[in-house]
Amino acid sequence: MDATHGDYIVVKAKEQGVQVIGLTRGLDTKFHHTEKLDRGEVLIAQFTDHTSAIKIRGKATVMTKYGSVDTD
């Protein structure tokens, strides 16, 4: 997959201090990027050759081409 054509997700924070953490690909999964969002802020994140997973801590709505989900 071309790194500029990976799937995107949208994360909308429903509280202060929501963390969005990018995880690497490869033999060992590692954190490689962290963003902190305040209530109402939106982050658009992309899966790439380096990002295989995205972890979200805190209350947020996550929107993908497959639908939306709210964290608890």
- The domain 3-64 having CATH identifier 3.10.20.70: the answer here is no
What is the structure's pLDDT at 1?
46
Question: Could you tell me the residue ranges of all domains in the chain?
Answer: 3-64
- Angle, CA of 6, 7 and 13, to the nearest 5°: 130
Q: With contact defined as beta carbons under 8 Å apart, do 20 and 61 qualify?
A: no
Mean confidence (pLDDT) of the chain: 88
Secondary structure of residue 65 in the 3-state scheme: coil
What is the structure's pLDDT at 4?
52
Closest CA to 57 of 72, 42, 45: 72
Contacts of residue 69, Cβ cutoff 8 Å, sequence gap at least 6 = 61, 62
pTM of the model: 0.83
pLDDT at position 2 over 90: no
Q: Which residue has the higher pLDDT, 22 or 17?
A: 17
